[in-house]
């Protein structure tokens, strides 16, 4: 085995080990309390410092606006529905692109994992595709399909596709030969083999790929919205920058971070559950 | 933005000829359709036009300048980011206090899609090269911090006890024990940092002030509707990314073996 | 990160004050001039303003020919006025050519600048559509995809034109694009209209677009206003140099206003990559004196005040702008006197009519 594609995403993101996440909720909360308390030390020092610096003019507002100002902008944008509308547009794009990319990725990855011939034909192609960052494809796609909605969806599909394919393929391939041989002995049909052996064993790595795909999809969305869009959270940053509204830019960044965090956590908890439920091969 | 292949790089399937079927078929279809006028040559220019565009750009000297500018940006950003990353990672790995106070915030900030930093960094640093380098450094820094922290923290307990018995000073602990033990992990972080830095270099050239660079070349190609130039730029980006990844992988491998 | 950054800035500031304190002698000074536009294919030149003349004709460099200690550097910004603001905020520029809206936004956000002279202040705005588009007038833009670079003086000009036609920005689908991107999108028929100037005339000349509307010949208040500014820091440290730079710009404005130079002027601006025929069309039917006046007259000042009020009304600005002391005409007055150009340019009153001297 030359590649540990299943392991890569976790290493990249350096996520906590699944076992830690699988801990019961109450225990997690109890353990979280001191973490939260310690985590509040920095803002407890930084926020008043920021406030004082902004107030006294040591920190010019064109470098960093006062926290209260950022907050009031946030409240304004929530009240006016502006923030919800931008976030909604971004989320819709991600859902569409990510959903499509995931389906194509699962099918292609499964085909590559199950059939040697398909794999020989498609795998080098996918490796080549993954070598060129999504960001680089954007101008190419802009020339090809213009700057409308299809561009955004295509970019997100591409971003989702690669990790899903690589992990699905590896997940299926990593199923121990012995198990399949047992299936042969028991005279399982192909359908039975898929349902009883392949599927349960591959769900966790495939899900890791999906989760990684979502992270990619989110970054791709922000990139494409920065480059060519008139709405959405990425555009909010561009708009804020051009109008010299640092408060808007900061609010946009926080919302992008929050959505990225929440969606990743959601998938992580599902992943942890799957990992526990899956049979162990080792 | 990030499409990071596994650091070790997958091995191409043994039956290479089958792997060639799809690309060759695609290239043939491309060439045929543009020759027979089935595709708009503005969208899919014949291959030799791309080759000629590459040759032209190379001979005119612009391509080399762009490539050099991108690489310089990439490496200076990576150098800065890696230095900060190792320092911060070591502190977070060794000091419980720093870890408790800073790590939650670091993890939170990490969630912000990297490109989303570009507007703020532009506003903070203006149009200078500094803005681009800072962005690249930020990108490179994140995996280095994470992996250094993990590596430093994971120094084997028996080793630490040996250090205690030998009455190591703090510096000795750091230099003789924690850092060497963390080396493989740090190298992984640096490897990832290199990949991220290259992606960030392209991002900086896309979104920040105009200057020489491969990213700038691609953007200019799009504005002029110059598909050969765009494709050439993409090809170069992919190749450089691949080369950086392979080189880093090789160095990492050598160092760990030697270690 | 912010506190560290702050420290760095303070250190840089301290260093800068130290340096400028010494600069009272004959220490080398670099005069950094920003321009809120960029030439075709990112050429470091521009066209259509006296500031562009100063650049292409080396007027500022010539002013300091005898002073080897003084260097002049020009910077051109694809991100236009908003990008110039970022550079000013980071202390990377001393002078800048910039439009009304971005400067007002900068002032509202605490950038310390002074407006020295008008440049490109009566520049017409053009709106173009794809060649076979059904869009034939401003009113047809309703509900359509219109490209404009937000936060620039073109953006404000569009707002004024829309208002005069009973429309508002929200009646359109505004796409935020820099001019190069907008021109490409227009040629590819991806948008229904774009706001700009010479880039659009150029597309129309190649039959890739048609001009639907221009402010030229319409109410002069609809056009774009722009100026050359200096940072307060530079002006305080080098009033003498500020005067000499102003002199150079006024000389460029004078040369650009002489009808005898029209052909030569258009060719000089050609360094930006815009063809002479496009520039000839851009300036057709208007006097060079009108287009290249450096005067900060009643019309100019009133337009800036209205721009601020309108920007606030349309949500582009969240605070009031303090105009006190922003228009610093003493350098311009001295330059005009020095060059014996009193009465050469016609001042306009707030309603846009020429005022008898």
d(CA C325, CA C288) in angstroms, rounded, equals 29
Domain B52-258, architecture per CATH:
Orthogonal Bundle (1.10)
Biggest alpha carbon distance in chain C? 64
Task: Give the pLDDT score at C261.
Answer: 95
SS3 C321: coil
Q: Report the greatest alpha carbon distance in chain B.
A: 80
Buried b (16+ CB within 10 A) or exposed e, C71-108: ebebbbbbbbbbbbbbbbbbbbbbbbbbbbbbbbbbbb
Do C83 and C157 lie in a common domain?
no
Tell me the shortest Cα–Cα distance from A69 to chain C, in angstroms: 12
Do C62 and C156 reside in the same domain of the chain? no
The C-alpha of B231 sits at a distance from chain C's nearest C-alpha, in angstroms, of 18
**Which of C9, C109, C176 minimises the CB distance to A61?**
C109
List, in order, residues 6 or more apart from A107 with CB less than 8 Å away: none
Looking up residue C209, the CATH number of its domain turns out to be 3.40.190.10
Query: Judged by CB atoms within 8 Å, which residues 9-48 of C form the interface with A?
Result: 9
CA pair distance A66, A60, nearest whole angstrom: 9
Report the alpha-carbon angle C40-C42-C44, nearest 5.
100
8 Å CB contact of A242 and C150: yes
Q: C275 and C202 in contact (C-beta within 8 Å)?
A: yes
Same domain, C80 and C187: no
What residue ranges define each of the domains in chain A, with the CATH number in brackets?
66-277 (1.10.3720.10)
**Residues C116, C22: one domain?**
yes
Nearest to C127 by CA among C204, C58, C50, C57: C204
Write the ipTM. 0.80
User: For residue B10, what pLDDT band results from cuts at 50, 70 and 90?
Assistant: very low
User: What are the structure tokens assigned to C331, written together?
Assistant: 């350098």
Give yes or no for residue A189 having a pLDDT over 90.
Answer: no
Residue A225 pLDDT class (50, 70, 90 cuts): very high
Percent of chain C with pLDDT over 70: 92
According to DSSP, the residues that pair with C96 across neighbouring strands are C34, C229
**B167: region left, alpha or beta (phi > 0 left; psi from -120 to 50 alpha):** left
Q: How far apart are CA B151 and CA B157, in angstroms?
A: 13
**Confidence band for A32, pLDDT divided at 50, 70 and 90:** low
Per-residue confidence (pLDDT) for residue C14, from 0 to 100: 53
pLDDT in tens, C2-54: 445 555 555 555 555 544 444 444 578 999 999 999 998 888 999 999 999 99
Q: What is the pLDDT of residue B65?
A: 87
- Does residue C177 carry a pLDDT above 60? yes
* Residues of the domain holding C161: 126-222
What's the structural domain count of chain C?
Answer: 2
pLDDT band with cut points at 50, 70 and 90 for residue C104: very high
Q: Over chain A, what is the mean pLDDT?
A: 80
Q: Is the pLDDT of residue A12 over 70?
A: no
- Do residues C115 and C132 share a domain? no
When pLDDT is averaged across residues C299-326 and rounded to a whole number, the result is: 89
**Using CB atoms, which residue from B128, B220, B225 is nearest to C92?**
B128
Mean pLDDT along residues B225-238: 86
Neighbours of chain A (3+ CB pairs under 8 A): B, C
- pLDDT at C326 > cutoff 80: yes
Per the CB < 8 Å rule, is C188 touching B225? Answer: yes
CB-based contact, A60 to chain C, within 8 Å = yes
Residue C344 lies in a domain: no
pLDDT of the residue at A272: 81
Q: Do C275 and C325 belong to one domain?
A: yes
- pLDDT tens digit sequence for B31-87: 777 777 766 666 677 777 778 877 887 777 678 888 999 999 999 999 999 999 999
Q: What is the arrangement of strands in the sheet containing C173-176, beginning at the earlier edge strand?
A: C173-176, C145-148, C193-196, C126-130, C209-214
Q: Does C174 touch chain A (CB under 8 A)?
A: yes
Residues C154 and C231 in one domain: no
Q: How confident is the model at residue A1 (pLDDT cuts 50, 70, 90)?
A: very low
Q: Give me the residue from C2, C111, C176 closest to A230, CB to CB.
A: C176
Residue C356 lies in a domain: no
Q: Are strands C173-176 and C29-35 parallel, antiparallel or unpaired?
A: unpaired
Q: What value does the mean pLDDT of chain C take?
A: 89
């Amino acid at each position: 085995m030359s590649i540990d594609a299943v392991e890569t995403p976790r290493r990249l993101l350096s996520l906590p080990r699944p076992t830690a996440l699988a801990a019961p909720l109450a225990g997690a909360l109890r353990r979280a309390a001191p973490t939260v308390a310690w985590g509040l030390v920095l803002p407890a020092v930084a926020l008043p410092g920021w406030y004082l610096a902004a107030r006294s003019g040591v920190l010019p507002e064109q470098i960093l606006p006062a926290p209260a100002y950022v907050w009031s902008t946030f409240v304004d944008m929530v009240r006016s529905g502006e923030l919800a509308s931008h976030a909604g547009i971004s989320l819709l794009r991600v859902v569409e692109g990510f959903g499509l990319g995931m389906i194509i990725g699962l099918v292609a990855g499964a085909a590559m994992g199950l059939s040697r011939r398909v794999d020989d034909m498609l795998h080098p192609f996918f490796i080549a595709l993954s070598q060129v960052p999504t960001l680089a494809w954007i101008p190419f796609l802009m020339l090809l399909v213009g700057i409308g909605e299809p561009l955004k969806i295509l970019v997100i599909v591409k971003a989702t596709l690669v990790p899903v394919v690589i992990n699905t393929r590896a997940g299926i391939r990593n199923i121990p030969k012995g198990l399949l041989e047992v299936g042969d002995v028991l005279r399982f049909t192909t359908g039975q083999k898929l349902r009883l052996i392949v599927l349960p064993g591959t769900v966790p790595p495939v899900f890791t790929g999906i989760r990684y795909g979502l992270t990619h999809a989110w970054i791709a969305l922000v990139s494409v919205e920065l480059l060519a869009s008139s709405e959405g959270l990425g555009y909010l940053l561009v708009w804020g920058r051009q109008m010299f509204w640092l408060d808007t830019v900061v609010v946009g960044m926080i919302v992008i971070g929050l959505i990225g965090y929440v969606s990743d956590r959601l998938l992580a908890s599902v992943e942890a559950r799957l990992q526990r439920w899956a049979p162990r091969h080792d | 933005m990030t499409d990071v292949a596994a650091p070790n790089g997958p091995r191409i399937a043994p039956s290479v000829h089958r792997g060639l079927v799809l690309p060759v078929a695609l290239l043939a279809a491309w060439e045929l359709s543009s020759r027979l006028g089935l595709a708009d040559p503005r969208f899919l220019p014949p291959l030799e036009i791309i080759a000629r565009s590459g040759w032209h750009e190379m001979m005119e000297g612009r391509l080399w300048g762009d490539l050099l500018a991108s690489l310089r940006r990439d490496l200076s950003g990576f150098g800065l980011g890696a230095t900060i990353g190792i320092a911060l990672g070591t502190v977070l790995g060794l000091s419980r206090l720093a870890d408790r106070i800073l790590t939650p915030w670091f993890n939170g900030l990490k969630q912000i899609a990297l490109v989303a930093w570009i507007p703020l960094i532009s506003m903070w640093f203006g149009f200078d090269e500094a803005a681009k380098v800072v962005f690249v450094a930020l990108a490179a820094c994140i995996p280095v911090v994470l992996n250094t922290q993990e590596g430093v923290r994971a120094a084997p307990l028996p080793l630490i006890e040996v250090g205690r018995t030998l009455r190591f000073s703090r510096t000795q602990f750091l230099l003789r024990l924690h850092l060497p033990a963390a080396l493989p992990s740090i190298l992984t972080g640096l490897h990832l940092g290199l990949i991220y830095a290259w992606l960030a270099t392209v991002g900086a050239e896309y979104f920040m002030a105009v200057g020489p660079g491969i990213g700038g070349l691609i953007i200019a190609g799009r504005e002029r509707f110059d598909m050969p130039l765009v494709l050439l730029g993409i090809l170069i980006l992919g190749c450089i990314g691949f080369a950086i990844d392979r080189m880093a992988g090789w160095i990492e491998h050598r160092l760990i073996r030697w270690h | 990160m912010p506190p560290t950054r702050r420290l760095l800035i303070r250190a840089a500031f301290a260093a800068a004050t130290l340096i400028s304190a010494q600069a009272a002698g004959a220490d080398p000074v670099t005069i950094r001039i920003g321009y809120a536009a960029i030439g075709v294919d990112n050429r470091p030149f521009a066209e259509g303003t006296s500031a562009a003349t100063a650049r292409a004709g080396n007027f500022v460099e010539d002013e300091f020919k005898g002073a080897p200690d003084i260097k002049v550097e020009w910077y051109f910004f694809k991100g236009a006025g908003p990008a110039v603001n970022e550079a000013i905020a980071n202390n990377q520029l001393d002078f800048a050519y910039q439009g009304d809206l971005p400067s007002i936004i900068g002032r509202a956000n605490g950038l310390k600048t002074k407006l020295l002279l008008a440049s490109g202040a009566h520049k017409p705005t053009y709106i173009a559509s794809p060649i076979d588009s059904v869009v034939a007038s401003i009113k047809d833009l309703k509900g359509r995809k219109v490209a404009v670079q937000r936060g620039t003086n073109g953006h404000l000009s569009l707002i004024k034109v829309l208002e005069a036609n009973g429309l508002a920005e929200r009646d359109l689908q505004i796409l935020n694009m820099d001019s190069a991107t907008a021109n490409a999108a227009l040629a590819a028929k991806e948008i229904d209209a774009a706001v700009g100037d010479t880039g659009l005339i150029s597309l129309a000349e190649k039959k890739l677009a048609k001009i639907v509307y221009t402010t030229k010949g319409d109410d002069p208040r609809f056009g774009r206003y722009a100026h050359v500014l200096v940072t307060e820091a530079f002006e305080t440290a080098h009033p003498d140099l500020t005067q000499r730079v102003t002199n150079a710009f006024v000389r460029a404005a004078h040369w650009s206003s002489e009808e005898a130079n029209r052909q030569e002027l258009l060719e000089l601006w050609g360094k930006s990559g815009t063809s002479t025929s496009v520039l000839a069309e851009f300036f057709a039917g208007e006097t060079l004196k009108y287009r290249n006046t450096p005067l900060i007259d009643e019309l100019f000042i009133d337009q800036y005040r209205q721009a601020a009020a309108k920007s606030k009304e349309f949500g582009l600005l969240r605070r009031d702008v303090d105009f006190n002391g922003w228009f610093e005409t003493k350098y311009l007055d001295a330059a005009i006197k020095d060059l014996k150009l009193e009465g050469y340019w016609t001042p306009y009153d707030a309603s846009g009519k020429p005022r008898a001297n």
